[in-house]
Amino acid sequence: MTGKLYLVSVGPGRAELIPDLARQALAASDVIVSYDLYLTWVQPWIVGKDIRTLPLTQERERAQLALEEARAGKTVALLSSGDIGVYAMATLAYEDMREDDVFDVQLIPGITSANSCASLLGAPLSHDFATLSLSDLLCPWEWIETRARHIAQADLAVVFYNVQSRQRQEGVYRILDIMLEHKKPETLCGIVRNAYREDQAVEIVTLAELRTRRFDMLTSIVIGNRFTRRKREWMFTPRGYFNWSNTSDTVKADALPAGAAWVFSGTSDGNALSRAIAETGRPVVVSSASDYGNEQARQAVPGVATVSGRLGVERRRELLSGSRASAIVDATHPYASEMSQQLMALAEELALPYLRYERPASGSEHPVIHCADADAAARLAMARGQRIFLATGSKELHRFLAADAEQKQQWFVRLAPDPQHLQRALDLGLPRARICAMQGPFSQAANEALWRDWGIDCVISKDGGEAGGFDAKAAAAAALGIPFIVIDRPQLDYPQAFGDFASLLAALPKGEQA
């Protein structure tokens, strides 16, 4: 006698969303194999059936039980929420099925978590998108990070499954940091908990704000792409973008000077170095991450070719290769380690000289408390002060504010007057009265006046060296008698590093690259 196995999807949690094919399969089945919760939505359709339930963590045992009953000639329905073929039970059934099995198999598709969450938010998945599970039970964590990085670099909309559990608290924040490396902080995101179930909650936030939230296993996260928009209480991604040049990167490779030294800058000394290279007669391209950085570069080096925006590694590779760049000059901030690593990899891949300009570290003799990273600095500052001043820029604001989830401290920040940086701080919930948007560096007197007026009792900084006003900050903190916490510079193994312009200029290749 030949049995039959139905692989049945019962959707997100409402009978109205279960396809009629699933009802028919349940009616035709002798045996129902499931987890208890999934039966909640189909009770009226399984009265009188032979029902077998096994708890969570026994998914494979459920699949094997269904297979055994089908081999015995019975008609069996193996149930799963969402779509049984997406992060669910169908794969286990196919894995343990034998080549000599003769029973028929039919998979009934359903509404996935991605689909149900997206429908509550609007239409955020109307163009290319990805899904990614953040559970490392069945996939190595380094694979999850690699996939997340590629998704972010491609600027795909993405839905995260298995976001956070009691045992996995920090992984999601690492993934969100990866997203922030490649997506703008103001990227629209959705948080959906218990979609189409009791206690459903739906919220639209920015990517920067998302980094400050807490989640659980009942929550899914939807992150849009650069084109995702908001209208009323919904978010949507245009089906056709129409204006693909609607990014800060509009330059074409053939419009750039051939054989140029590409200076990756964004700092005042990086722009000064670009000017020094241009004065030797070499063609130069200055690349910065923001429109504000682009504006600063144009002012510092009039007439220079510039590229701006979070290009991603693929676009950088295309522009460097297409313009026949002669060298990569890495003059990025001393703490932009991930960018430096990307540039070193590109230089090796494209057989280009890589020259690192490393801003000299501070030699300040004022009292300094060293910390390895932002998280350690946040913990120490919260133990030392109540009104904490961040002289660390905007990139890691989310990490400091997330460390103070109960908002016991008051945080103050000084940022470059870049609209994107300011918006990032506002999205994270910082009051405007605690934000100072000014271009540095600042004198000791200016620091003292600001910190005294704000009643600052602890300062966190990075070692930006003299060019970043580090010594003036250290002296001001010492004069006011407040703790001065410094996040140590990341240590990278640069193939060539220079601490002065003259040495780097002497190492630059001569003429256009063949």
CA nearest neighbour of 191 among 180, 183, 202, 199: 202
Please write the tens of the pLDDT for every residue from 28-45: 999 999 999 899 889 999
Return the CATH superfamily for domain 369-487. HUPs (3.40.50.620)
CATH for 4-111, options being 3.40.1160.10, 3.40.1010.10, 3.90.180.10, 3.40.50.1240:
3.40.1010.10
- Residue 61's pLDDT band, with cuts at 50, 70 and 90, is very high
DSSP string computed for 59-94: HHHHHHHHHHHHHTT-EEEEEESB-TTSSSSHHHHH
Residue 267 vs residue 222, higher pLDDT: 222
The closest alpha carbon to 387, from 464, 442, 450, 473, belongs to: 450
**pLDDT on residue 475:** 95
Q: Residue 365 is encoded by which pair of tokens?
A: 């003799």
Chain-centroid distance, C-alpha 27: 45
User: In this structure, are strands 261-264 and 234-236 parallel, antiparallel, or unpaired?
Assistant: unpaired
Q: At what angle do helices 444-454 and 470-480 cross, to 10 degrees?
A: 50
Do 369-487 and 253-360+499-507 fall under one CATH topology? Answer: yes
Closest listed residue to residue 327, CA positions, set 346, 340, 314: 346
Look at residue 247 and tell me whether its pLDDT is greater than 50: no
* Residue 107 in tokens: 């998979």
Q: Write the single-letter amino acid at 334.
A: P
Domains of the chain: which residue ranges?
4-111, 114-236, 253-360+499-507, 369-487
pLDDT band at 248 (very low <50, low <70, confident <90, very high): very low
| CA distances from residue 434 to 152, 411, 421, 456, 470 in whole angstroms, order as listed | 31, 7, 14, 11, 21
Residues 124 and 190: beta-carbon distance below 8 Å: yes
Please identify, in words, the CATH class of the domain defined by 253-360+499-507.
Answer: alpha beta
Q: What pLDDT, on a 0 to 100 scale, did the predictor assign at position 514?
A: 34
Q: What's the pLDDT score for residue 254?
A: 67
Average pLDDT on 440-464 reads 94
Q: Report the percent of the chain where pLDDT is more than 90.
A: 66
Residues 438 and 99: their CA atoms lie apart, in Å, by: 69
Instruction: Lowest mean pLDDT of 73-87, 232-246, 439-453, name the range.
Output: 232-246
pLDDT band at 250 (very low <50, low <70, confident <90, very high): low
| Pair of tokens at residue 304 | 């220079």
Asked: is 114-236 a CATH 2.60.40.420 domain? The reply is no
